[in-house]
Amino acid sequence: MAGQRRQAGCPGSVRLQHIDSRGGTTALPGARLPHRWVYAGTSTLDLVEGDHVLLTGSDLAVGPMSARAVTVSLPLRIVRAEADVVRGIGAEWVLVPPDQVVTARGDGPPDPSHIDIVPGHQQRAHS
Strand partners, 95: 54, 104
Parent domain of 32: 13-125
How far apart CA 41 and CA 116 sit, in angstroms, is 32
117, 65 contact by CB (below 8 A): no
Domains contained in the chain, number? 1
Domain presence at residue 106 = yes
Domain presence at residue 99 = yes
Number of Cβ within 10 Å of residue 111's Cβ equals: 17
pLDDT category at 58 given cuts 50, 70, 90 is confident
Domain presence at residue 55 = yes
Domain presence at residue 4 = no
Amino acid 25: pLDDT: 64
Domain presence at residue 45 = yes
pTM metric for this prediction? 0.75
Nearest to 110 by CA among 70, 54, 71, 58: 54
Amino acid 45: pLDDT: 87
**Residue 20 pLDDT exceeds 50:** no
- For residue 24, the domain's CATH number is 3.40.30.120
Domain presence at residue 7 = no
How far apart CA 83 and CA 79 sit, in angstroms, is 12
Contacts of 38 (CB under 8 A, 6+ apart): 44, 46, 47, 79, 81, 82, 85
